[in-house]
Structure 1
Amino acid sequence: MTQRAGYADGTTEGSPSLWGARSAVAERAVLARHLRRVWALPGTRLGVAGWPQSIGNRLHGHWNYWWQAHLLDCLVDAQERQPNAARAATIRRLVRGVRLRNLGTWTNDYYDDIAWLGLALMRARDCEDVPITKAMTAIAAQLRAGWTDHGGGGIWWRRKDMFKNVPANGPAAILFTRWATRGGQRADRQRARSMTEWMSQVLVDPATGLLWDGVYVEPDGSIKDIVRVIYTYCQGVYIGACVELADGDTSGVWVERAEQTIRAVATHLNDDNVLRGRGGGDGGLFAGILARYLAQAVLRLPPSPATATARDLVLGSALAAWRNRALARSGPLFGPEWAQPAQVPRAAGHRRVERDLSVQLSGWMVLEAAALLERSAG
């Protein structure tokens, strides 16, 4: 029996619930290998950063705040796919675990981190009525305070820094657009529009249509340097912000910008409809984030050749991730490059990026994105 044939999910290629079943298998594997109590405290959960687990991993010594936000997002994806009381309890335990591991607070110095957690918390409330008022009050206040006119606008990447980037402004814009109708301030939607407009004017590469990473600014507010590095997740959060702002907008500008970015991704950031990875560590999440917001574009923008392209990218990436999975303890293991076979790490000291929770969440995320499209088509 080969690796690919050795993982039964009870479906066939023609099954209408194929991606849902595969997502469920990925969920069980990731949770079995990575989910653990915080310091053995009851009623808590947190994602262990690496598997096989080292002693430091088990103690959550290096716990990656923003990875936990994406773990929470994936759990909400799964709960929307197939509601389950046990998973609902896990969602609440994870939220509690994040606060406890963050020493009783909801925020840190990184604006991108707290925006990601805020987005996941809003979804957890919508899905399971998780109380988030205190958390969102703190997160939204810090994000609002992050805006300055340095570099033409936008919020900072982190406190006491001179760098502004898409990874902070993209998720913050998505958050403010949603929070404006869920308990935030009416002006939050305008904040989201201003952030996204700033990205559009300052960080879109005119040659490719892709988003650069960010800008360093001088104390007087002028731009010192543009970081012209292209990351897949920058495209994802910009698309996500445009999709949110397109809702209820009659100008068509946000739809046009989202479609332009989708076309740019299709031209420059994939191979045969498979999104490219960015290794392990934080980069392990990048392709999964792009897949998530490509799926949102398919579902929420008017049908067009661009949204058809987005669908192809999500489904092609999910198929590649699944076909190239390895068989490890508790189930499938995903690689950092979905177009290449994954390799199973032998021990905690084995420096393969498949160890990283980020890489496994990204694989789970793209399967959930495919499952979402599958449900919408049904």
Structure 2
Amino acid sequence: MKSRRIFLQKAGLSALALNISTFNPISAMPNFLDAKKMDEKPLRVAIMGLGSYGTRVAEAIQETKRTKLVGVISGTPSKVEAWKTKYGIPAKNCYNYENFDAIKDNPDIDAVYVITPNGLHKDQVIRVAKAGKHAICEKPMAVNAADGQAMIDACKAAGVHLLIGYRMHFEANTLEVIKMRKAGEFGTPLFFQGLSGFIIGDPSQWRLQKSLSGGGAMMDIGIYSINGARYMLGEDPIWVTAQETKNNPEKFKEGIDETIQFQMGFPSGAVASCLSTYSMNNLDRFFLNGTKGWAEMQPSTGYGPIKGKTNQGPLDKPHTTHQAVQMDEMAAIIFDGKKPEVPVNGEEGVKDMKIIDAIFKAVKTGEKVTLKLA
């Protein structure tokens, strides 16, 4: 507070030195706001799961204004030691998967970001909630909607937030398209296409193990087209149909989808046609078509920069590190009650899980599956 007073005193003296006719009080406000931000408490985060994406989030946190990496949870002692040194994490804030319930008694940690295999999310988030800490969970939030709902219920019972790592909900060009759609600049949205896929490598990795992943491409890359259809069209689907193609059953065993084409229908009459695959590269494209215009994004969900155009011209919002923006926005949700343009709460995550459950059912039965997401 002392530094803030000195700052304001200096700002006041500078203002008096100006000719009163040219002084604009509004011009001083950004500096005042910056000083205010310096006094804001950071969201103190422990990362659970120190793999490649956990590392990406840790690096992004270094760019944030309102979050701080203060703890780690991992089953690999060598990773814990490396992170302690790199990020200056005290030993008392380091845990493994067996003892992390002890965070209940650690006042230095506000939230835990769970970045582990999908099949572990439910139990780990529930334990975080019971420890009285806010839970941030990477997507998909669980392996099915029932597990996702159990996570929501546990966090509500504990009085803590449950937020899902939907980084695209804060990405500038994505938000510009949503803004244009809401303003009616595309007319009535009629059609969405989402293509999400890449060729997956190591066949022994956890993503190709049903118990850990809950499925194949759909539980990894496919969720982007599901979620993207919802925020691009601005409504939730009421039915799905789906077809699976499996050309490599040795690599993609029972319960691990290789490629799924799926279709969704919406209350307005709009439709979506999407592809989720682990067997094709160069698939990261969204296309929205309306009665008055269109939007195309390619790449649409990668780590950036996101590129695209509409019938009015290119999308040219500046690129920022997605995970850094996400973490600062989540701090604002937790501390300030901020309402994001597109939700990132547990309920948003469960909607996607209900759709994935329905897609798997449609693949199995060959029938159109009705959805009730409300």
TM-score of the two chains, using structure 2 as the length reference: 0.29
Higher strand share: 2
Bigger radius of gyration among the two: 2
TM-score of the two chains, using structure 1 as the length reference: 0.29
